[in-house]
Structure 1
């Protein structure tokens, strides 16, 4: 059962569980696609995801309930009109209190490691504002507010910008430091002309509390 955080005639915001991919995996197994029919909630069409969250990332995911809404919401993301707030746990203690990371990102690939994103001068501009919230057990809870929406942006910015990867990140850090990549899409607000914004807050999942951070 997937929790619904916001619902009206145009939009759903769901609390995507960690570990659930948006697209069906090549190797098979469950994905968000298996839940879309249940998420119709009386509508004729399946809702469609407007943006992406990594498989490991939990929290707010916007779904459009009709084609016109999908176009409008996608445009809001492209125009950087959407407010996004993430919470992440770093696999180390961060001394600084707040700041802005501006590092361009580029995709690389190798036969041994597959593909990943790196900070590269010729990459796509990427900006993340961050604020330290708490330190516990040698880890740090950080609030991230990305201005751009690049693939793996927060994960790479944590490593390359803050010098500490997210706990549990198997690509940019160490899988053994957490139960998963510890990133949660905590809040989402999408403006709509002439209507109240689509707005939702996703409660912190249980695995954040297991690492010492109960409320964000």
Structure 2
């Protein structure tokens, strides 16, 4: 996927302080859309536990607009990478329709998983539902009562008991990639809910590597750089920094 970080338009003036350091993390900007390289470890919006969230820094991303941008979708707190924001009411509504429609937004996630599949590519079809009200967003596989959920995966590299996967969510259920990987027998490294993070001490190795869609007549195709916490794990599986 191409990185369109250089294709930017509109007023480039800074809009006051940038307390969360988000401006340098803008990968793409036009008059309607911003694609941000979300850092791992921060929630995108307010939850029951409160605390600082990514939305608290969006005022720094107005770039001349009267209002800050708004989320077009969400990423888990510990997932890094491409996060799409809408800059106008019209764009936010159009993005909502795109993300709700099957196949209109192309997403690629990179993951380092423990063990790994024996095949080089495949599809995981496992219906998901919320575990219970007490666990909030935690999900379980439920073939009888779950919502249809499908993930395409491909092995990009292997090494040292790990595998590097490109994962494409066909559906967009909460925690889908994480629980699908664990259900298939290769949990994502550093997953504290569905994996073995309590024993490994690693951060979640799941990264929204690329996103592509067409909004109006504008094609947006963006790639997020590999985060620091995943470089060693990916390196064990054959990734090299010059590969991007």
TM-based fold match above 0.5? yes
For residues 99 and 111 of structure 2, what CA distance do their matches in structure 1 show? Answer: 21
Aligned residue among 186, 209, 212 for 1:189: 212
Aligned to 2:32: 10
**Stretch deviating more after TM superposition (198-207 or 19-28):** 19-28
1:83 equivalent among 78, 87, 106: 106
More strand by share: 1
Output one character per residue of 1:73-127: Cα deviation in whole Å (capped at 9) or x when no partner.
110111121000000110223321001111111111275x665211112211111
Compared CA separation, residues 115 and 44, structure 1 to 2 (3 A): closer
* Structure 1 unaligned residues grouped into runs of 5+: none
Contact 2:126/2:149 (CA < 8 Å) preserved in 1?
yes
Q: Distance in 1 between matches of 2:46 and 2:159?
A: 36
Structure 2 unpaired stretches of 5+: 1-20
SS in 2 for 1:211: helix
> How well do the aligned residues superpose, as a CA RMSD in angstroms?
1.7
Q: Give the Cα–Cα distance (whole angstroms) in 1 for the partners of residues 118 and 33 of structure 2.
A: 40
| Mean CA deviation greater in 199-208 or 171-180 | 171-180
- Conservation of the 8 A alpha-carbon contact between 1:73 and 1:190: no
Matches of 2:136 and 2:44, distance apart in 1 = 20
Question: Whose Rg is larger?
Answer: 2
In structure 2, the residue corresponding to 1:37 is in which secondary structure?
helix
Match 1:64 to one of 86, 100, 106:
86
1:104 paired residue among 127, 132, 135:
127
Q: Deviations over 1:29-57 (max 9, x none)?
A: 32112210111122111100110100000
Q: TM-score, normalised by structure 2?
A: 0.82
More displaced, 69-78 or 85-94?
A: 85-94
> Which residue of structure 1 lines up, in the alignment, with residue 16 of structure 2?
none
Q: Which structure 2 residues correspond to residues 1-216 of structure 1 after superposition, within 5 A?
A: 1-2=21-22, 3-80=25-102, 81-109=104-132, 116-121=138-143, 122-160=145-183, 162-175=184-197, 176-177=199-200, 179-193=202-216, 195-213=217-235, 214=239, 215=243
Distance 1:212 1:17 in 2: 17
The more displaced of 114-123 and 133-142 is: 114-123
Cα displacement (A) at 1:28: 3.8
- TM-score, structure 1 as length reference: 0.92
Is the Cα–Cα contact under 8 Å of residues 116 and 185 in structure 2 kept in the other structure?
no
Alpha-carbon separation, structure 2, partners of 1:146 and 1:93 = 18
1:131/1:178 Cα in 2 relative to 1: closer, same or farther (>3 Å)? farther
